[in-house]
Amino acid sequence: MKKILICGAGGFIGGHLAKKFINDKNYQLVCADIKPLEYWFQTFDSAENHCLDLKDYNNTLKVTKNVDYIFNLACNMGGMGFIENNKAECMLSVLINTNLLRAAIKNKCEKYLFSSSACVYNGSKQNETFIPGLKETDAYPAEPEDGYGWEKLFSERMCRHFTEDFGLETRVVRFHNIYGPVGTFDGGREKAPAALCRKIINAKNKNLKKIDVWGDGEQTRSFLYISDCIDGMLEVFNSNSTEVFNIGSEEQVSINQMIDTIENIAAHKVDKNYQLDKPLGVRGRSSDNSYVTKKIGWKPKTTLKEGLVKTHQWISQQISSGTNIDKFCKSNIEK
């Protein structure tokens, strides 16, 4: 039996990963997150759950004891609204990765996965809409997203050097805008798919026609559904490759096109109030999966429409039930 540690298990991706492992008799699960347990998005009684700050070395030593595999999904992050306005906070997550890597060596852990981001990619390659997908090699020469992207790029390199210098097996995945049920949808950290589902649901519920949209809506992105993200991450983890891989979708759409899809799902048409002074990020971004498909065999299965149907349905249920809604809408990391 292998002992697995999921860092950031109280969050969106960490919660879904814990759910994947919890009933597998081959694994014993340790979950860690800085938030109080009642704010974790998903919790499992049979896991060993720890609420602690993983920026602290002593805490990383505690949770990695006798652990074989570490999944580091802990990070103080969010969508554009958060990362553009909290660059120092984002960079402080470097302490999580640094201390977890040190603790992994000290406690002789076998394998370590770091969750990096498409925000590491060179900004000058993302100045147009509907750009070609970003290849793994497009991260260099380095010009990542200020703050958050630099932290991710630095941490990726630290993984590489811990492998080279100390023999720790590391895996690095670059996630491209992951969305789906049981994630943040309000409060400032939410990303575009959840934010726009919420805005259209609220408009319909209140019989309103207008929603706010950041930018001119022509900026492009690709969005990856959570189940594909979990499968891709595990396939990279179980592979023999220590290279860095994209885990993203190649289905690039403009924000206006995504709004059209959500309007159809919601059966509610809206007018758009374009807010050009809001955080916008890069002009265009998408993933090129040719390398990860060739080396690992992974590619996403869920279309954007299929994923948005499920996401819209879940957010709609949360809003109408109103139960426990705070934990998906408030920034409660420092509580």
Whether the Cβ atoms of residue 195 and residue 137 lie closer than 8 Å to each other: no
Strands (E), 146-263: 169-175, 178-179, 210-214, 220-222, 224-225, 244-247, 252-254
Q: Which one among 79, 147, 181, 300 touches ligand GDD, defined by CB under 6 A?
A: 79
d(CA 86, CA 129): 26
Q: Which one among 15, 81, 133, 180 touches ligand GDD, defined by CB under 6 A?
A: 81
Please work out the total of residues on this chain that contact ligand GDD, with binding judged by CB under 6 A: 27
Query: Applying CB under 6 A, does 219 fall inside the site for ligand GDD?
Result: yes
Tell me the closest approach of the beta carbon of residue 315 to ligand GDD, in angstroms.
Answer: 13
Query: Applying CB under 6 A, does 213 fall inside the site for ligand GDD?
Result: yes
Q: Which one among 192, 201, 229, 230 touches ligand GDD, defined by CB under 6 A?
A: 192
Q: Which one among 6, 34, 211, 262 touches ligand NAD, defined by CB under 6 A?
A: 34
| Catalytic annotation present for 148 | yes
Whether the Cβ atoms of residue 9 and residue 18 lie closer than 8 Å to each other: yes
Q: Which amino acid is at 170?
A: T
Site for ligand NAD in 44-83 (CB under 6 A): 53-55, 73-77
Query: Applying CB under 6 A, does 255 fall inside the site for ligand GDD?
Result: yes
Tell me the closest approach of the beta carbon of residue 82 to ligand GDD, in angstroms.
Answer: 7
d(CA 86, CA 147): 8
Site for ligand GDD in 272-291 (CB under 6 A): 278-281
Of ligand NAD, ligand GDD, none, which one does residue 171 interact with (CB within 5 to 8 Å by kind)? none
Cis check: omega of the bond before 141, within 30 degrees of 0: yes
How many CA within 13 A on the CB side of residue 123?
10
For residue 107, how many other CB atoms are within 10 A of its CB? 16
Residues 6+ apart with CB under 8 A from 199: 211, 212, 270
Which residues sit at the interface with ligand GDD, rule CB under 6 A? 77, 79-81, 83, 117-119, 148, 175-177, 190-192, 195-196, 213-215, 219, 221, 255, 278-281
